[in-house]
């Protein structure tokens, strides 16, 4: 919910429309479970079919993960209740054992980032990724799974760019864990790590 609404807002910005979209709207109306956060492609399709309103209209409210408010039909303040939609939704698919299909997928992601805006990645989240936010060297670190840290859950992040450093290609991601995470919500993750190339994206 967080990653999908954020990526769509960035893509609206690329079209000249500045808007902060509400993940809470998706949580209330679609996901219905804060602990899960929603599946990546389901959230993309929800934005196509139902859209979401603005953060100022339906602001995020932290909860126990089980108490979900009903689907809103008006804003919490006096703002007009207005929806923002995706036109289409897409997802990548590839076989890690087929290098050609993998390289095709990487090319698609890079093309999307350069020409259309950020994409959403559904990742496997391990404890060492969570710990990355507490390292003073995080800004200069390219994350690679250590191979032993405990698996926590599926997670979603926004890929906002890519680069090359220390003979490694990396994706630049924006996370939803607050500004204390790594470089003010940003982190670098090495190509092929934690299923980073499984992505979804949409047209505003």
Q: Report pLDDT digits (tens) over 6-48.
A: 999 999 999 999 999 998 888 888 765 555 556 778 888 889 9
CA nearest to 34, candidates 73, 9, 2: 2
Q: Rounded mean pLDDT of 134-163?
A: 90
Is residue 110 predicted with pLDDT exceeding 80?
yes
Q: Residue 68's pLDDT band (boundaries 50, 70, 90)? A: low
- Strand ranges in the chain using DSSP code E only, listed in sequence order: 88-91, 119-126, 142-143, 151-165, 168-174, 186-190, 199-203
For 37, half-sphere exposure in the C-beta direction (CA atoms, 13 angstrom radius) is: 14
Q: Are 170 and 164 in contact (CB under 8 A)?
A: yes
Q: What is the pTM of this model?
A: 0.90
Is residue 100 predicted with pLDDT exceeding 90?
no
Q: What is Dmax (Cα atoms) for the chain?
A: 54
- Strand ranges in 64-150 using DSSP code E only, listed in sequence order: 88-91, 119-126, 142-143
Rounded CA separation 40/37 (Å): 9
Rounded CA separation 80/67 (Å): 26
Q: Residue 109's pLDDT band (boundaries 50, 70, 90)? A: very high
Give the DSSP H or E segment for 166.
Answer: none
């Amino acid at each position: 919910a967080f990653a999908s609404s954020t990526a769509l807002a960035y893509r609206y910005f690329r079209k000249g429309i500045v808007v902060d979209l509400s993940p809470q709207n998706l949580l209330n109306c679609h996901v219905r479970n804060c602990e899960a956060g929603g599946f990546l492609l389901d959230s993309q399709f929800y934005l196509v079919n139902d859209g979401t309103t603005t953060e100022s209209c339906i602001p995020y409210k932290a909860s126990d993960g089980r108490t979900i408010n009903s689907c809103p039909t008006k804003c919490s303040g006096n703002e007009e209740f207005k929806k923002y939609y995706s036109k289409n939704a897409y997802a990548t698919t590839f076989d890690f054992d087929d290098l050609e299909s993998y390289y095709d997928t990487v090319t698609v992601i890079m093309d999307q980032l350069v020409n259309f805006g950020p994409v959403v990645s559904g990742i496997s989240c391990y404890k060492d990724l969570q710990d990355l936010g507490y390292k003073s060297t995080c800004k200069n670190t390219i994350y690679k799974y250590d191979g032993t840290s405990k698996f926590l859950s599926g997670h979603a992040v926004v890929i906002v760019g890519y680069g090359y450093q220390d003979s490694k290609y990396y994706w630049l991601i924006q996370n939803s864990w607050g500004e204390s995470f790594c470089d003010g919500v940003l982190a670098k993750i090495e190509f092929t790590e934690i299923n980073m190339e499984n992505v979804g994206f949409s047209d505003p």
